[in-house]
């Protein structure tokens, strides 16, 4: 938090932001990856963890005081259309068991698109994901270009 605050103060940034780092295995230091001022797709995770970022931003924008917030740990965000294929990939390679994956779905969880009161976005995401996945693989085969999923090229 401290390096991010210093960085944002140095560039005079205020507002909602995601500052992302990655640990460099070569020297053990964290390296800046991204400063993202846009509202990201997993922003509802904050609300599930007890920090409502859009509401806090609104308070800030209308000049109201915004108290420091700390979210609950252990809350997870899941997008089923990408999470399930990744889990299957890990299971097929022996790096995860079905039981481990099912336990990872226990609460507290915030689903990206699935909601009991509005299931349509989640239901529409699955066929869209499947179409894009299979279309990109087919397109790569047709054009003789490996896809991101490692489809073989034409010989």
127, containing H or E segment? helix 120-143
Q: Per residue in 43-80, pLDDT tens? A: 778 888 899 888 888 898 899 998 888 888 888 888 88
Q: pTM of the prediction?
A: 0.51
Strand partners, 19: 35
8 Å CB contact between 26 and 41: no
Burial 129-141 (b: 16+ CB within 10 A, else e): beeebeeebeebe
**Residues belonging to the chain:** 155
What is the pLDDT at residue 143? 64
Confidence band of 153 (pLDDT split at 50, 70, 90): very low
């Amino acid at each position: 938090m401290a390096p991010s605050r210093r960085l944002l103060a140095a560039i005079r940034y205020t507002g909602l932001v995601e500052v992302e780092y990655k640990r460099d295995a070569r020297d053990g230091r964290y390296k800046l990856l991204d400063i993202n001022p846009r509202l990201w797709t997993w922003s509802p995770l904050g609300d599930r963890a007890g920090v409502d970022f859009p509401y806090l931003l609104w308070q800030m924008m209308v000049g109201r005081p915004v108290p420091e917030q700390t979210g609950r740990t252990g809350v997870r965000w899941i997008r089923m259309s990408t999470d399930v294929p990744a889990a299957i990939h890990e299971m097929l390679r022996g790096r995860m068991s079905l039981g481990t994956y099912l336990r990872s779905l226990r609460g507290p969880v915030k689903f990206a698109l699935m909601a009991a009161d509005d299931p349509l976005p989640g239901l529409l995401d699955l066929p869209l994901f499947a179409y894009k996945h299979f279309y990109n693989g087919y397109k790569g085969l047709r054009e003789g270009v490996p896809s991101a999923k490692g489809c073989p090229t034409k010989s």
